[in-house]
Each structure stands twice: as C-alpha cells, then as structure tokens.
Structure 1
Amino acid sequence: MSADYLIVGQGVAGSVLAWTLQERGKNVVLVNAPNRPSASRVAAGIFNPLTGRKLVRTWKADELFPFLKQFYGDIEKKLNASFLHFSTIYRPYRSIEEQNTYLALTADPSIAQYIAEPVDNQSYRPFIQNPYGGLEVTRAGWVDVPVFLKAIQDFFRQHDQYIEADFDHGELVINAEGVEWRGQTYGKLIFCEGPHAKDNPLFNWLPYNPVKGQVLDVMMDNYRVTNIVNQGIFIMPVESNLYRVGATYTWHDLDWQTTEDGKAFLEQKLQAVLKIPYRIVGQRAGIRPATKDRRPLMGLHPAHPAIGIFNGLGTKGVSLAPFWADQFADFLEGRKELDPEVNIERTFSLYYSGKNPV
C-alpha cells in the first residue's frame, strides 16, 4: 500500500486532518492544486468564543478552545513556526441599551468565563468610537493561516508526502481494499476541498450553503490598539501598521472576485468605528464552505466506505478543525462513533433520494 490516507485539499481542514493522522503514526499523502482558489488563504483566521450581536457562546467552545491552543502550539514547537496569536477582542457598545443587555448576559457563568474585567476603555478612546465603553472577550486570537499552511506543506514536502496536482475523479479506482489513484493504492481517501466540494461527483448531494466574504488590508500609521476590535466588522492587527478589516457575508454571486460594493460596505462600517485616517492597500474575496445547518460535514460515503469527507467548517475553520479532526481520526481508526451532529449520516436521505447516486 502506498499510504494509509490520501487527503485531497490542503486548506485548514486538510492540513489539520493530515497532521492529526500523521501524529497518530499513519502514513499520509496530501494532494493540493496550488492554483485553485482557496478560502483558507483569504481567511482572517480569528477564533472567538463569543460571537454575533447577541453575544452567543461558540458551539462547543469549552472543548474547542483548550484543544486548539494545545494543537497549534504543539505544531509551532515541532515545526519551529510562529502563527498562533492570542488577543482579546474589544467590543464597543453601540448604545446604552446594548451595554445593559451585554452586562446582563455576562451574569451567566458560561459567558462570564470569557469576559475580561475591568476594561480600560480609555486606552481605546483615541482610536475607536466607544462613548458607551465596551467589553473584552478573552481566550480569543487568530491563526496566521498562510504561515500555518506553508509550515504543514513544507513538512509533507520534506517527507515526500505532498503532491501538487488537480485531482481528477476520472483517475480514481475504488475497490474493496481501498482506492487507487495514479497507480498508487491508499487505505482511505478523504476529501477536504472546502467550497469546491459541490463539484465533487461523490459528495455533490451534501447540503452546502457557501458564503462569499471579502476583507480589506489597510495601513494606519498611528493606530495603537494591539487587540482585535469587533463592532459589526473586525479590525485585526497583522504586522507593523498593517491591519485586516472584515468581513462581508453574501449568499449570491458566489465567485472569487472582489467588488466595489463589498469595499464600500466595509469602509462604511470602518468609518463608523474608527477615529483615525487609514488607507486601503488590498482587498480579497473568498468563499466559505458553510452548510445548511451550520455544522461540519464529516464521515464516510454511504456506498464507498473507503472514501470520506471532512468539510463544512464555515467561518470558524481554525476553531473547529483541530477538535473535530481528532474526533474524525478516532472514528476512522474504529475507536469511537462520530457525533451525530457532524456525521454526514444525518444527510443520507439526500443521497438515497437522488436520481443517480454515485
């Protein structure tokens, strides 16, 4: 056998799963099409335990956040890389009403554990509109996704376990022992193709709900806020005087092109919260691999148990991937069943109701 696993796609999902299986002693080969658009390479990589206007705790936050800290930290040490950045997230209140609502919510211990007190609102005031003050969310931060992906790619390249290629399904042979591709055999094939999975004939029946997002790169010379700020949009420090601003959410015009509308929307939001001048130096667009029920899609094909999928991580890929890759690896190795909330078995009716299931 050429390898235990062939993983197609080297975005966040594929990279995390490949590393997880490799660390368990499995022989993994990664296939990646470098010229294919990638949502991961556009993503800001923010991880945040409390999200949305209603300050909702991220699904399974108590499990995800300790796990991701350990996971990315271990890779940094082993690969001598630096891509994990911790930061509080400052959320200025929009009104007295919002202030009262949020303060009431923080009485809940499950929310309070992620809130910093006290908050030095004055330190933000020269740069950010915060007449009503704000709160700080802890245990947050961001993963520099391009640096992380390069570290993983370099590792697999160095071990001759990385193939640059467009995966052609016509070259795939499925048999009782596993799969064959380009003359090599693999115990299992796992697709981690992000938004491109909708074009995969083996998994195009899954309930994808892709979301287009755009971000801006802006330069500011006198901005002294080192934390992430979030009020409708995020302002995230990247490096000296460079900041990322995002993001838009649209479910139409699902292409990889930036738009003037997207830029105008982000600028309007930015100008409402920012007090100092800025200049735009870049704009990018990506398509997030979201799902109808906002839960990941993972599991094995109903007709071909040697073929699986690890996808649908949506906007929270860097948070979800480490924990769920570990769970998926346990499942693939026969150690435990997958959580029904993420197992694609929940959608098998869509496959069996199809006219020509593969």
Structure 2
Amino acid sequence: WRMRDAGLSVMILDRTDSQAASRVAAGLITPILGKRLKRSGDWQELWPVAEEFYRQLEQRLGCPLLQIRPAARWFQSADERELFERQCRNGAYDGLNVESVPSGKAGPIGACHGGFTMEPAGRLDVTVYLERSRAEFCRQECIRQVEVDDADVVLSLTGGVELPRLGLSARWLILCTGAWGAQSLWMNGVRFCPCQGEILRLRHPQLDLDGTQHHRKWLCPLGDGTSLAGSTYEWERLDLQTTSAGRQEILAGLAPILPEQHEVIEHHAAIRPTTVDTWPAIGVHPTYPQIACLNGLGTRGVLQAPAAAQLLLNHLVKGELIRPDWSVSRWG
C-alpha cells in the first residue's frame, strides 16, 4: 500500500500460505505488555501512524478493520499490583488512559488482586484486512500467486533485479517472507529467532466481556458469541502442528475468566517472524542495495507495520536513514 501510494509500480508475489502467522494472528494492539508491565516500545510514535493508516484503508476498502476498545489486565499477585502502582508513580504510562481496578472488584474475572484497564487498545481484523487488500490488488492486477526462491533472482547489470522465470524486472526486490526469511541467502545476516505459537477460537454464549482480557493468557471477544484465545510461545519446536499441551496451556491460563460451558471450535498454529532482539528488520542488502527486507514484525506487527513500511519506502526513494534499532545493518 505504501509503495502504490507513492506512485510506484508494484507486483506482489505471494505464495498464499494459509498457515502464515499473518493469517492466524489475532491482530491485538496493546499499549502495556509483558510480565514487567512495560509500555509497548515507541507506542507514542507508532500508534498514531498505525491508526491513521488503518482508518484511511477502511475508507478505501469500504469496510471496518480497526476496532478500538479498552483492554483489561488482571493481576496474578500482590507483587504484580505493586509493580503497576510503582510504574504509575514513575510516569511510565503518561499519555495513556489507565485506570486501576481495586482488589475484589474484578467484575467477571476471578482475579482477587484486581487489575487495570488501558486505552487506546484494540484489534485489527487481520483476516478482513488481508482478504480485502488482496481483492483490491487482484482488481489492479498487481499480485500473482507464485512461490519465489533465491535461485529465481538475477541481479541486473543496470542495478535492478530480474526474475526471468516470471518475466519480471524491477528496481528493487523487497523480501517480506516472514518466518521463512531465515532460509534466504540474501538476508542471512539478519538474526532471526522464529517462535511458534498456538491460538484457539472458543464459543461461549454466556460470557459477556467488553474488550480483550489479559490474565495469564488473553481472551479477545469477537462480538458473535466467540472469542480468540492465546497464545503459546515455543522456540524449539518450529512446526505448524497444534498440540493438546498448547490447548491446555491456553485454557488453564484463562480458567478464571471462562465459564464452565465453552467449546473449542478452532485451533491453529503458526510461526512468528521474530528477531533475537524482537525489533523489526528493515533495510537493504549491504552489497546489493536492490535487495531489500521488511521482516521481523513478530507479535507487534499490526502496530509496527505501517511505520516500518514507510521507513523502508523513504529509505529506498529518498535515501533517508532507517532508525538504527530497526535496520538490518545493526548486525553488521
């Protein structure tokens, strides 16, 4: 989208992997994350860019994509509550709308230590985003369903790239290959650290919650009597198989939230394209600048992707520097 908006001619080469992380992701946008209750990195910079991008795309595609609702985080211990209160005193959440929920007033959540609500937060409907974007790209005849590997790429003497098998030539080839990026020889300097994760979809007609609920795991109501629930993290077993252990881990983590009557109606696994330092990997090959990379978006891709794409575009077209902590050059 960013490149087409800049007036560039684009051809998307997509192998249409139904188990790609982007096709399984819940699309959550959460400002406060992790065991240490830290504000999501660069939230104040990234959130306005992401919100503007998705709102503009809603107008172009004629459908809702971004749902903004407060999210709730429920403490697991008195120590966790104390950590939250200390973060508040230190100004860690300045600029966010954060409200404490006292102990014993956790509503439908069985969390005796209370918690807090945070906004803005929400969810991108990733499935609709991908489907409607693809339909528009098909209408514009700028997408092809095909798998490309390193052997297909020929560096042009004029400084561009050619893909003879596909009859294509271009000024740049941008690799957005997700978790499989680690297998590309063009970007073997990027220190990927893929992470497998499992996610469930549950049916529970009696549960009435507004916004994503975070406890040991998270539960995201979809408004139709079902919710997405997740997720697991596995760095050793990098396959696409769902497991009973993963299912039980998610359900056990949500035990204080879920009613007795609930049904698992979907169970998916995918591999997140994360890096060793969890930041995106964007930039160009150190020797062949016609080969570029936009990858490593991991668990915060919905928040980071609009800014990352704009940074890469500005680097390619205007020669602007990419922020060092996101650049592929940070690994030498």
TM-score range, shorter chain: over 0.9
Report how far residue 281 of structure 1 moved: 0.8
CA contact 1:298–1:310 (8 Å) conserved in 2: yes
SS in 2 for 1:202: helix
Cα separation, 2, equivalents of 1:123 and 1:238? 24
CA contact 2:99–2:118 (8 Å) conserved in 1: no
Q: Calculate the aligned-residue CA RMSD, in Å.
A: 1.8
Task: Determine whether 1:299 maps to 2:280.
Answer: no
SS in 1 for 2:293: strand
Report how far residue 112 of structure 1 moved: 3.8
Counterpart of 1:154, as a letter, is: A
Check 1:100–1:171 CA distance in 2 against 1; reply closer, same or farther (3 A cut). Answer: closer
Q: Which residue of 1 aligns with 2:19?
A: 37
Q: Which residue of 2 aligns with 1:199?
A: 183
Alignment length (residue pairs)? 329
CA contact 2:53–2:306 (8 Å) conserved in 1: yes
- The counterpart of 1:241, out of the listed 219, 225, 232, is 225
Counterpart of 1:131, as a letter, is: C
Cα separation, 2, equivalents of 1:36 and 1:130? 37
Q: Deviations over 1:108-153 (max 9, x none)?
A: 334143243365988852x311323210011111111111011211
- The counterpart of 1:107, out of the listed 75, 89, 102, is 89
SS in 1 for 2:186: coil
Counterpart of 2:3, as a letter, is: L
Cα separation, 1, equivalents of 2:130 and 2:310? 18
Give the unaligned 5+ runs of structure 1.
1-18, 349-358
Cα separation, 2, equivalents of 1:55 and 1:115? 15
Task: Determine whether 1:133 maps to 2:114.
Answer: yes
CA contact 2:31–2:121 (8 Å) conserved in 1: yes
Cα separation, 1, equivalents of 2:210 and 2:102? 13
CA contact 2:102–2:113 (8 Å) conserved in 1: no
- The counterpart of 1:265, out of the listed 236, 249, 254, is 249
CA contact 2:104–2:113 (8 Å) conserved in 1: no
Report how far residue 205 of structure 1 moved: 3.6
Cα separation, 1, equivalents of 2:79 and 2:111? 14
Counterpart of 2:173, as a letter, is: L
Give the unaligned 5+ runs of structure 2.
none
Check 1:121–1:158 CA distance in 2 against 1; reply closer, same or farther (3 A cut). Answer: farther
Q: Which residue of 2 aligns with 1:155?
A: 136
Identical-pair percentage: 27
Q: Which residue of 2 aligns with 1:93?
A: 75
- The counterpart of 1:325, out of the listed 288, 292, 309, is 309
Cα separation, 2, equivalents of 1:121 and 1:89? 17
After the TM superposition, list the runs of 4 or more consecutive aligned residues in structure 1 that deviate by more than 6 angstroms: 120-123
SS in 1 for 2:21: coil
Cα separation, 2, equivalents of 1:310 and 1:245? 28
Check 1:177–1:112 CA distance in 2 against 1; reply closer, same or farther (3 A cut). Answer: closer
SS in 1 for 2:222: strand
Report how far residue 209 of structure 1 moved: 0.3
Task: Determine whether 1:51 maps to 2:33.
Answer: yes
Q: Which residue of 2 aligns with 1:62?
A: 44
Q: Which residue of 2 aligns with 1:255?
A: 239
